Amino acid sequence: MFYRTEDDHGLRHNPFNAIIVPRPIGWISSCDAEGRVNLAPYSFFNGVAYHPPQIMYASTGDADRGDGLKDSIANIRETGEFAVNLVSYDLREAMNRTAVPAPRGVDEFEVAGLTKAPCETIGAPRVAESPVTLECRLVQIVDLPSTNPATPNRAVFGHVTAIHIADAVLVDGVVDIGKLAPISRLGYRDYARVGEVFSMTRPTWPLAESDGR
């Protein structure tokens, strides 16, 4: 099939996020200016640079919130900092609970029965149960086009200032993917765990015969 995105795709569900897969999940913890804590998952999330390490996540607009902003981005605008926690398989249900559209000011750590641990370089707490946390300072919020002004789309870029890695997932100085057990977002209601893992070495120039010359 082929369709132009301004036209109807004619399928039962929008296939857009079912074909950009698998997506890592950034579980964003933040505080507002009064110190009220928030936690929510975002799968329009990825790393974007090494030096300094930077990440981005995107917040789609929400017409049910007065200013159209979800709580995480509203908090990050106020304080300029946030943490990204990794969602391991055993945290899947808790992560899902924190996606509830709770009113601003509701602490989703409490909603999901999660433990707060302090961060070192930012004020927001991290998820103690999560094996990895990236502490982030806001670099830039980029306004993105939106088909409805009441639902603004925005991308948040953050500089990763510190990283927590649980010793239990480090084996011989390498992050063990089996112990990390991250989940990723697929389309519809689906998620995936990492199954088969394989390695490839990047080719150098000129290509060798073994590189498919």
Ligand X SMILES: Cc1cc2nc3c(=O)[nH]c(=O)nc-3n(C[C@H](O)[C@H](O)[C@H](O)COP(=O)(O)O)c2cc1C
Binding site for ligand X (CB under 6 A): 25, 38, 40-44, 58-60, 70-72, 96, 99, 101, 185
Residue 62 beta carbon to ligand X: minimum distance, rounded to whole angstroms: 6
The residue among 105 and 118 lying less far from ligand X, judged by its C-beta, is: 105
For residue 23, the tally of other CB atoms under 10 A from its CB is: 18
Residue 26 beta carbon to ligand X: minimum distance, rounded to whole angstroms: 8
The residue among 156 and 169 lying less far from ligand X, judged by its C-beta, is: 156
Residue 179 beta carbon to ligand X: minimum distance, rounded to whole angstroms: 22
Of 139, 126, 58, 62, nearest to 100 by C-alpha is: 62
The residue among 176 and 193 lying less far from ligand X, judged by its C-beta, is: 193
The residue among 46 and 203 lying less far from ligand X, judged by its C-beta, is: 46
Residue type, 29: S
Residue 92 beta carbon to ligand X: minimum distance, rounded to whole angstroms: 9
Looking at residue 114, the DSSP 8-state letter turns out to be P
Burial call 132-171: b when 16+ CB within 10 Å, e when fewer: bbbbbbbbeeeeeeeeeeeebbbbbbbbbbeebebeebee
Residue 4 beta carbon to ligand X: minimum distance, rounded to whole angstroms: 24
d(CA 71, CA 147): 21
Cα–Cα–Cα angle for 106, 110, 111, rounded to 5 degrees = 75
Residue 86 beta carbon to ligand X: minimum distance, rounded to whole angstroms: 13
The residue among 169 and 183 lying less far from ligand X, judged by its C-beta, is: 183
The residue among 71 and 135 lying less far from ligand X, judged by its C-beta, is: 71
What is the distance in angstroms between the CA of the first residue and the CA of the last residue of the chain? 33
d(CA 153, CA 146): 6
